[in-house]
Amino acid sequence: MKNDIYLTLEKSDLKIQEELDFGEVPYFVDACIETFFDVDKKFGLNLKDSDGVWVNLYAKYNPCDNQFRVDYVVSSSDSNVWRVYQPTQAEINMIQTLIEEACIKQTGHTCKDEFIRRAMEEADEINLVCEKVSETEYQIRNTWDDLVIHTEDETGKLKDHVGHKIEYAKYEAEDGYSFSVECMDCNEVLFAQTDDPQEEVAYAEGVYDYGEYRIVVSPDYKKAIDARDAPEEIYCEVFVKTDVEYKNGLGEFNMMLGYEYDDTTVESIEEGINKLMDESISFYELQRREAEFDRANELLARSVSYITELSGTENLRETLIEKLGMTEAEADNMAQEFEMDIETEQGMTLG
Ligand SMILES: [Zn+2]
């Protein structure tokens, strides 16, 4: 737990214990979370000197309507005392991320996808309706058990399908099946199972722009900080902005908390990146020019190769001197390179 005045929980303060539990009606994802922070300080308890007493958090999460509740439980060998904990929004986001990660590891699906799959498997009847709940809320509900499986505000798709015929469709997939929820009247998919659940929770890489350079940062410190999982180390790789496929790494550096940046805030980290880039800018300029030069060389080689395809290698040396204006020495070098290339190729075909 960071030593801030609110004692806000960090991701490293918590660990999901064992497997997640997916309850039967009413459906919730249940997580038991081990605590690795000073619970006396955080919850105003006095357990310091008590042996055999421990505190766990229990989270109940409905990923479809975002209901979320955390209790903390003071346990000893003969008692459990439950108390409701009022998490901050940042803590809710962080604990939900933790549960999502555990769910993907356990089931291969996001919480919401796993939740819907289980609910649909257990339902005796699936009769979905799309309905308006308030001025700004729309939802898809199974009328059999009143379970809401999807909610949206007025910016989503649902508002155009209120009262339409909605169906839950299963498709064969590598690991069994995949689902989607579709409007049969409009022949439109309203939402579907997430193809790449890892990506949903990942903050592996991000980018930061410095002048004409783009720096790929790992982890994506902005997302990591949002998820209360601030990095103590950031790996940076430098590219030219125009290198959109990240083919030519110009250089790389590592940043560590306490050395290259003082604080796990976006401002402090970016100040650190700017400083390191400022210090090495002439090096990157040089790398960049070299990369451009390599590119020019490569294009020249391709052009000469094209000439040999059109007119063979016999008069290559003369063509290079007369048509491209090379000096004799340049033409000799180039012609020799291409003859060698051709010999190797022939050698390979013969061999
Ligand atoms: Zn429709």
What confidence tens digit (pLDDT) does each residue in 85-135 have? 888 887 888 888 889 989 998 999 999 999 999 999 989 999 999 999 999
CB 157 within 8 A of CB 168: no
Q: Ligand 1 centre and the CA of 177: distance in Å?
A: 24
- Dist. CA 66 → ligand 1 center (Å): 25
Return phi, psi of residue 174, to 5°: -50, -45
Contact 97, 9 (CB under 8 A): no
Global pTM reads 0.65
Strands (E), 231-338: 233-240, 251-256
Distance 131 CA to ligand 1 centre (A): 11
Q: Residue 51 has what pLDDT?
A: 80
CA of 188 to the centre of ligand 1 (A): 7
Give the DSSP letter of residue 261. Answer: B
> How far apart are alpha carbons 114 and 100 in whole angstroms?
10
Residue 347 Cα distances to 41, 209, 313, 314, 339, angstroms: 77, 48, 16, 18, 12
pLDDT digits (tens, 9 = 90+) for 279-322: 999 999 998 888 888 888 888 888 888 888 887 778 888 888 99
Structure tokens that stand for 161 in this block: 């399908």
User: pLDDT at position 236, please?
Assistant: 94
Question: 182 C-alpha vs ligand 1 centroid, how far in Å?
Answer: 8
Let me know the angle formed at the C-alpha of 242 by 270 and 201, rounded to the nearest 5 degrees: 55
Instruction: For residue 160, give every residue at least 6 positions away whose Cβ sits within 8 Å of its Cβ, in sequence order, or none.
Output: 186
pLDDT of residue 351: 40
Tell me how far the alpha carbon of residue 151 lies from the centroid of ligand 1, in angstroms.
16
CA of 117 to the centre of ligand 1 (A): 22
How many Cα atoms sit within 13 Å of 27 on the Cβ side?
Answer: 23
Amino acid code (one letter) for 81: V
CA 345 / ligand 1 centre spacing (Å):
61
Dihedral over alpha carbons 254, 257, 261, 267 (to 10 degrees): 110
What are the angstrom distances between the C-alpha of 324 and each of 241, 303, 327, 328? Answer: 32, 11, 9, 11
Give the pLDDT confidence of 241-266 residue by residue, as tens digits: 998 888 888 989 999 999 999 998 99
Distance 160 CA to ligand 1 centre (A): 6
Give the chain's mean pLDDT.
Answer: 87
Report residue 155: phi and psi, to 5°: -85, -10
CA of 121 to the centre of ligand 1 (A): 24
- Expressed in angstroms and rounded, the spacing between residue 292 Cα and the centre of ligand 1 is 53
The mean pLDDT value for 76-91 works out to 86
* Domain edges within the chain: 11-107, 123-198, 203-292
Q: How far is the CA of 218 from the centre of ligand 1 (A)?
A: 42
Q: What are the structure tokens assigned to 9, written together?
A: 């929980």
* d(C-alpha 175, C-alpha 167), whole Å: 22
